[in-house]
Amino acid sequence: MTTVISLADVCRIFPTEPPVHALSDVTLEVPPKDYLAIVGPSGSGKSTLLNTLGLLDRPTGGSYRLDGVETTDLSDGERTALRGSRIGFVFQSFHLLATRTVEENVMLAELYRKHDRRRRRKRALDALDRVGMGHRVGFTPDRLSGGERQRVAIARAIGGDPALLLCDEPTGNLDSDNTASVLDLFDELREQGLTIVVITHDDVVSGRADRVVRINDGRLT
């Protein structure tokens, strides 16, 4: 099978004064079903790397192949389409819509991709069952605990049936119990065939991963 992520000499320079070299010559391979943790001090470029992997940001140099497709010369619209169809995101701050129910939040995952609308609700409920949130479908996010919110966010991320799950500090706002339940969930998802990349400060999180890479000043070490 093709490597899911293949970075070669990727650079990201922010054109500020002076320019910030957030990523310098990053080379990284992530095979399918890998569970990779990226650790590093604050300001080292972890989020920039994840945004690049998630096609939210464009590298200023180097090559990034996702599922074998060279992404650096794709148009904005093509990158959006690829992102929508291949990648699920889990953010530290959840990014749930406060005025919509748990179920509606998960259903957003398919809004911009699949078009079998009839079974969308069913698939959303399945995703919520997978993260153990099947009993809270009608709630709004403000009535959930932090761990529950993050599990809903993970349900939304996997609801779009991605090949790659990118998580930026997914447990940053959670206590140890909630962190443990999210990590158990990642283990399960990986067994189901997902490729997972997690950014973290937390040794507990990086300890559960297959591989850990360190980033310092934009360079992998």
Partner 1 sequence: MRRGPGKPRLDVRDLCGEALAGVLARPVRSALTTLGTVLGIATLVVTIGVAATAGNQIVGRFDALIATSVTVEVPEQTWGERVSVGWDAPEELARLRGVVSSAAMATSRKTANLTVSANAIVDPTRVTDQTLEVVSATVGLPEAARGAIVDGRFYDEGHITRRDRVVVLGDQAAKLLGIATTANAPAVFIGDRAYTVIGILGRIGREPGLATAVIVPPSVGRADFDLKEVSRVLINTSLGAAGLIAEQAPQALSPNNPTGLQVTSPPSPTRARDGVQSDVNTLFLILGLVSLVVGGVGIANVTLVTVMERIGEIGLRRALGAARRHIAAQFLLESTMIGLIGGVIGASLGIVAVVGISAANEWTPVLDTRLALAAPVAGALVGLLAGLYPSIRAARMEPVEALRSGT
Ligand X SMILES: Nc1ncnc2c1ncn2[C@@H]1O[C@H](COP(=O)(O)OP(=O)(O)OP(=O)(O)O)[C@@H](O)[C@H]1O
153 and 94 in contact (C-beta within 8 Å)?
Answer: yes
The tokens for 141 are 């996010």
Does residue 26 bind ligand X (CB under 6 A)? no
Residue type for position 46: K
> Which residue in the set 2, 9, 14, 177 belongs to the binding site for ligand X (CB under 6 A)?
14
Does residue 48 bind Mg ion (CB under 5 A)? no
Question: What is the rounded distance in angstroms from the CA atom of residue 185 to the CA atom of residue 218?
Answer: 30
Does residue 42 bind ligand X (CB under 6 A)? yes
> Which residue in the set 4, 28, 36, 47 belongs to the binding site for Mg ion (CB under 5 A)?
47
Question: What is the rounded distance in angstroms from the CA atom of residue 14 to the CA atom of residue 43?
Answer: 13
List residues binding partner 1 (CB under 8 A): 1-2, 32, 51, 54, 56-57, 67-69, 74, 76-78, 80-86, 89, 91, 93, 95, 97, 99-100, 104, 108-109, 111-113, 115, 117, 156, 160, 163
The residue among 50 and 144 lying less far from Mg ion, judged by its C-beta, is 50
Question: What is the rounded distance in angstroms from the CA atom of residue 76 to the CA atom of residue 111?
Answer: 19
Q: Which residues touch 178 (CB under 8 Å, ≥6 apart)? A: 145, 146, 147, 150, 171
The residue among 136 and 156 lying less far from partner 1, judged by its C-beta, is 156
